[in-house]
Structure 1
Amino acid sequence: MNDFASAAMMKLVRDGLARQGIAPPPPTPARDGRVALGDKQALLARLWAQHGPGPVARIGEAIHGVQDDPTLRALVLAVDPPDLLARWQRLERFVHSRHRTLVEALGPAQLRLQHVSLASAPAPAPAEDLLVIGLLVALCERVLGQGVRARPVGGRLWLRQQGRWRDGPWPQAWHTWELHWDPVASAPQAPVTEPVASDRWLAQLQARLRADPGRPWRVDDLARACALSARSLQRHLAQRQLGFARLLTEVRVQCAAELLTRSDLSVAEVGYRCGFADQPHFSRHFRGCTAVTPARYRDQFSLAR
């Protein structure tokens, strides 16, 4: 990753090694939140050569101690592992990662993950594969509040089970893994009732969206969160000359505007946290609602100075 996520990943590496009693490397030089690709690869290669796969897999466990990172909050608001992986894939696109995570559902509580490179990029090194897999497993556990089982595709043994990594036997191919977990029943949502002649109903809908603007919302998701049928939700929106896509975009732009004026997050991180697909998508929709770009809006109205 070559944007705000890369420096955060390197900090996670240092924290994850320190948790294991391994002296972390000095901070990797960063500029504007970016870490040079060669520096990242050299660091991971040294770790792999000196310590082997186990410590690299366990680096992701450091995510359990992180509380105040905005990008992490956008990830762990996920309702389940498929939702989390969709958010992760959007993060990869948003920061123009040369690596991507392919996700295939194998069953109601089973996924296959494959960590690959874009066509023009070299394949990920084993250390890069295992670092990402270890982080995704830890994120899934944080979302679920319970352990996740993980093993390389074709393997018989779970290398991650009951919240712990085994010390092997490690696979020859590192890029494709199976994740299994025990299904967790979702808590029932309080219904959103429509008061007569009042805009409070619409405000309640907006509040549901604002609570997690980075979620890949669909009409069915919002209806379910509000204990409504999708048809009822769309009918009530139509009565106000609103569509779901417009409502969602407006809420995301409002959230972005607030972060741009009240935080020192980068423009890219604001766009990711607020649910936009990538930076051009963010700029296009923000400008469509405000008539200025996100950067220009911050320059004009920022309070975080």
Structure 2
Amino acid sequence: MQDFASAAMVRLLVRAMHAHGLAPPPAPHGLHGGPQGSRVPLACKRAVVEAILRQGGPAMLLRLAQRVDLLQGDPVHRALMGAADMAALLARWQRLERYVHSRHQVSVQALGPGRLQLRHHARAGVAQPPLPTESLAVLGVLLGAGKALGVRALGVEMAASRLRWDADDRQGGGLAGDLDGRLAQLMAHGRVDQWVLHWQASGARAPEAPPPSAATGLCDPLPWPPLAHALARHVLQDPAAPHTVDALARQAGLARRSLQRALSGTGLSCRSIVAEARARAAAQWLLQERHGLAEIGFACGFADQPHFTREFARHVGLTPARYRQAFGEPVQTPR
């Protein structure tokens, strides 16, 4: 799977290996601290996973994948951490899978208060199911992101077994040293692709404040009316969110038609405001050479890479790659 989600996953695992005293395999092309681009060879990902299994076992893989905090400062982390609860987090993960045209996906089998029944499987038309290690890594990221969002009492049950694992329990939900053996047994039989996530249901949290690289005032210089500026600042707080007309109307405290009429009188629309805000947020990210183009497009709310390229060029006059080439930070060659 040579897509940027895979690269972000490998980057996370490599950083987590360093943090936990494990030795990652040599980084490709002289990269240090984990791959920084949008794509990584499949062999690289497999080498990292095999190194983790060899040095720590499958439970270590599950734990390392939870270290989403080590991606802080990356666009993917920013996009995932904008979620207000577990359901919103899953929706963002699913959009990430669609963005990169992943061969595999996480589907919801059942949803209830404080409970999600999920399955990690191949997309329609794809013959090969995900490897057990891929399923474990995805599960780890969802658990780690949920913990980072402040979800309380988060845990998981493997739907095909009685194995139960609490995300806050480093000893493996009471299974202690047996967790590795149980996981290895389930992996050998391909039974780690169905999960039931459970947590203490409570009110949705407020999304984290935007970092300086996603400043909410990027549209302020535009000659827009106050209503449009207020909406743009709201979009820039979390460009990855689904900023529909109805959602923006609720934010403005107006009926849908009232908002549309108010904007049309100034030659604007909800769509044009969202598109401009996302393009400016992307331009800000593009000034930092270390972030992959596809990751930036996802974090800024674009549907896929062609949509990002097309919309960015329409607003800025250059494709993302040419914009970075003209204005971005120079590439630092590792010594």
TM-score bracket for the superposition, by shorter chain length:
0.7 to 0.9
Give 2:288's aligned residue.
Answer: 263
Q: Do the aligned partners of residues 41 and 109 (structure 1) sit closer, same or farther apart at CA in structure 2, a change above 3 Å counting? A: same
Determine if contact 1:149/1:159 at 8 Å carries over to the other structure.
Answer: yes
Give 2:6's aligned residue.
Answer: 6
The root-mean-square deviation of aligned C-alpha atoms, in Å, is: 2.9
Q: Do the aligned partners of residues 161 and 62 (structure 1) sit closer, same or farther apart at CA in structure 2, a change above 3 Å counting? A: closer
**Structure 1 residues 220-229 or 32-41, which shifts more?**
220-229
Residues of 2 paired with 1:47 and 1:103: CA distance?
Answer: 29
Give 1:59's aligned residue.
Answer: 64
Residues of 2 paired with 1:32 and 1:66: CA distance?
Answer: 11
Is 1:236 the equivalent of 2:236? no
How much has 1:263 moved relative to structure 2?
Answer: 2.0
Output aligned runs, 1:184-199, within 5 Å.
184-186=202-204, 199=225
Residues of 1 paired with 2:65 and 2:135: CA distance?
Answer: 12
Give 1:129's aligned residue.
Answer: 135
Residues of 2 paired with 1:124 and 1:71: CA distance?
Answer: 21
Residues of 2 paired with 1:48 and 1:153: CA distance?
Answer: 23
1:64-91 CA-to-partner distances (Å, cap 9, x unmatched) read 3543223211211111222222222222
Output aligned runs, 1:12-161, within 5 Å.
12-20=12-20, 23-30=22-29, 33=37, 34-48=39-53, 51-118=56-123, 119-156=125-162, 158-161=164-167
TM-score in terms of structure 2 length = 0.75
How much has 1:253 moved relative to structure 2?
Answer: 1.5
Determine if contact 1:100/1:116 at 8 Å carries over to the other structure.
Answer: yes
**Structure 1 residues 145-154 or 77-86, which shifts more?**
145-154
Output aligned runs, 1:200-239, within 5 Å.
200-239=226-265
1:237-293 CA-to-partner distances (Å, cap 9, x unmatched) read 344343322321222112223333x32133222212211111011112223334432
Determine if contact 2:240/2:300 at 8 Å carries over to the other structure.
Answer: yes
Residues of 2 paired with 1:51 and 1:258: CA distance?
Answer: 39
Determine if contact 2:275/2:311 at 8 Å carries over to the other structure.
Answer: yes
Candidates 164, 176, 194, aligned match of 1:176: 194
Determine if contact 1:90/1:278 at 8 Å carries over to the other structure.
Answer: no
Give 1:193's aligned residue.
Answer: none
Residues of 1 paired with 2:17 and 2:206: CA distance?
Answer: 39
Gaps of 5+ in 1: 190-197
Q: Is the partner of 1:35 in helix, strand or coil?
A: coil
Give 1:247's aligned residue.
Answer: 273
Q: Do the aligned partners of residues 263 and 188 (structure 1) sit closer, same or farther apart at CA in structure 2, a change above 3 Å counting? A: closer
Residues of 2 paired with 1:223 and 1:144: CA distance?
Answer: 28
Give 1:194's aligned residue.
Answer: none
Residues of 2 paired with 1:303 and 1:72: CA distance?
Answer: 21
| Identity score, percent | 38
Q: Is the partner of 2:201 in helix, strand or coil?
A: coil
1:193-212 CA-to-partner distances (Å, cap 9, x unmatched) read xxxxx822221110000111
